[in-house]
Amino acid sequence: MRAFDKVAATHCRVGESLVWDGETEGLLWCDIHAGRIYRLDTRTHALEEWQLPERIGSFGLADDGRLIVAMVSGVHLYDPANGVLTFLVDPEPEQSGLRPTNRLNDGKVGPDGAFWVGSMHSDGFTAALYRVTADGRSERKVSGLGTSNGLAFSADGTTMFHSDSKQCWIDRYDFDVRTGDLSNRTRIASPGEAEGRPDGGATDIEGRYWSAGVSARRINCFAPDGALLTSMVVPPKRPTMPCFGGNDMRTLYFTSLRNPNDASEDCGDVFRTRVEVPGVPVPRFRTRAHSVG
């Protein structure tokens, strides 16, 4: 039987956006609706937290020590040392004030050094996936989404995985590291509620895609072609995002959410388990603007 350890009992309403910092052996995540980012020092077990003024969809590490953060008002750079927020761009300015439930959601720094972030819309399939660079440019890359989620990239940077939690599918793209272009979109899996509606994602060095099956208490591992290889039942009812970390990148961490109407003691907390294949490290956002093409 697989062993799971609880690493933080933060009881997040919606724990998300796990990030491993290999330089400091720190594990970071956010509670979306609380607007709070946590950092756990995995060596000392000291827990820090930073309060931001809005809901947080996702964030990543930047190459200058700051964080790149997607919030309700757009994408910002945040300095944990002094609390300074620097606005970068709002990928969806037309959504401002339209519906309070429409916002930016899952995001991850890509192998091109850009921040890839999607949105979620309650009013149909009008959300999208964007590529954000340090010069404040935002480029729409994928349209027709309900809840953009599950971003992850292969070890060689040539493949991107992406899911839609509302439409229940996982797609694979060819990825051009030099330009950030996407091509050859392929639907590899369509897991439903019983199998685990796809939420956050991560990849290992063998090209497998690990998906949080938020509706089924599972972490699912898919082959690059979409074949289901492993389905782990986990302690919290609703796991939200996996992330690889540890010195050998063989520790699989994952966040979870806490439904006020249906929660167990483990819901909203962060867990870990050990896996055989190391995960792919996530790059840092390039804070110096760079052009494509």
Q: Which residues of the chain fall below pLDDT 70? A: 1, 96-100, 289-293
Q: What is the pLDDT of residue 260?
A: 81
Q: What is the pLDDT of residue 101?
A: 73
Q: What is the pLDDT of residue 31?
A: 98
Question: What's the pTM value of the predicted model, to 2 decimals?
Answer: 0.95
Active site residues: 199
Q: What is the pLDDT of residue 291?
A: 42
Q: pLDDT digit string (tens) for 27-68?
A: 999 999 999 999 999 999 999 999 999 999 999 999 999 999
Q: pLDDT digit string (tens) for 247-265?
A: 999 999 999 999 887 778 8
Q: Which fold has domain 5-274?
A: Neuraminidase (2.120.10)
Q: What is the pLDDT of residue 100?
A: 65
**What's the rounded Cα separation, in Å, for the pair 132 and 5?**
35
Q: What is the pLDDT of residue 48?
A: 97
Q: What is the pLDDT of residue 122?
A: 87
